[in-house]
Amino acid sequence: MGREETRQTGHCDIDRIDEIHRKYTMLKELTKNEWLSLLSIPEDRIPTVLVLRGTRNLKVNYAKYSTFFTNIYEVGSPNGIFEDVLIGDYKDISVGYASVYGDAMASEITHLFGVLGTSLVIQTGCCGALNDSIQAGDIVCATSAYCGEGASQYYLPQKRKVSASLDLVEQVMPSRVAPVEIHKGPIWTTSALLAEGKAEIQRWSHQGYIAVDMETATTFAVAEYFGMQRLSLLFVFDNPSKGEHILLSDIEKQSRRENGEQAVIDTVFAIIENYENGNH
């Protein structure tokens, strides 16, 4: 998917920032036009789709995903609040991309593009399996996510579970990513990776959740708040229900993870093309 690219770096409108400061407008109240002005984003660059990659390796994945796009506009921001965020073209489809880690970053980027009017957000990244039948490298497509993190309560305070857009879930077909296996079901989103113990893993598994991640519930909650369609496609990194965790190394599993991540990427761009071609 690599391609030559043109790249433009955005800048911040300092005068506009001062003007908004004098109005005592807080971040929650900023409008579409104010964000466009603040970040110097041309209105015709507002993307149709936003792709988030959940990762601690923010810049590594930003560089990787950048190669999929042409006509790249790197979003600048006051005080560096938004980093590793771009808007680019994929086959003439305008797509936003950001590397995010955890609920805080996922909420901020989804909020920004929700205000701007982006209509679909796709969460990607990795997860831990909570079902013995799910292996490293398999794909999990979340039908819903439990809000076990902290950010979703500020957008949907009455909800503990947030659903994906089921019409998009139905488009995720095994034939698109063969031979990688796909598992569809509810997942749990946490915000404390190192606080996952045996008791938590067993409880989540017994409650019927098939995987655990750190972004999906947040992304879904903010997306629902702004009326965006939403999908989460994650490759399985390990299976905590079998005692596996992120610090363990396994050459065979690493190969499966790489295949699973590539299958996620291929499926995401297939979904984007289908969405743009009249299937909003």
Query: What is the domain-level CATH number for residue 81?
Result: 3.40.50.1580
Instruction: Note whether residue 2 is domain-resident.
Output: no
Residue 147 lies in a domain: yes
Rounded Cα distance, 215 and 146, in Å: 11
Burial-class residue 164 by CB neighbours within 10 Å (0-12, 13-18, 19+): buried
Query: 277 pLDDT band (50/70/90 cuts)?
Result: confident
Number of helices followed by number of strands (H, E) in the chain: 9, 11
Q: Write the pLDDT tens digit of every residue in 233-268.
A: 999 998 877 665 555 567 778 888 999 999 999 999
Cα–Cα dist 142/145, whole Å: 7
Which of the pair, 149 or 19, is modelled with greater confidence?
A: 149
Question: Each residue of 152-163: b (16+ CB within 10 Å) or e?
Answer: beebbeebeebe
In order of 18, 107, 219, 226, the CA distances from 195 in angstroms are: 41, 21, 21, 31
User: 211-226, pLDDT tens digit by residue?
Assistant: 999 999 999 999 999 9
Residue 1 lies in a domain: no
Range of the domain at 142: 7-276
Which amino acid, 162? Answer: V
Confidence of residue 195 (pLDDT cuts 50, 70, 90): confident
Element holding 280 (H helix, E strand): none
Rounded to 10 degrees, what is the CA torsion of 131, 134, 135, 141?
Answer: -120
Answer whether residue 78 is part of any domain. yes
SS3 state at 39 = helix
> pLDDT tens digit string along 96-126?
999 999 999 999 999 999 999 999 999 999 9
Rg (CA), the chain: 18
Total domains, the chain: 1
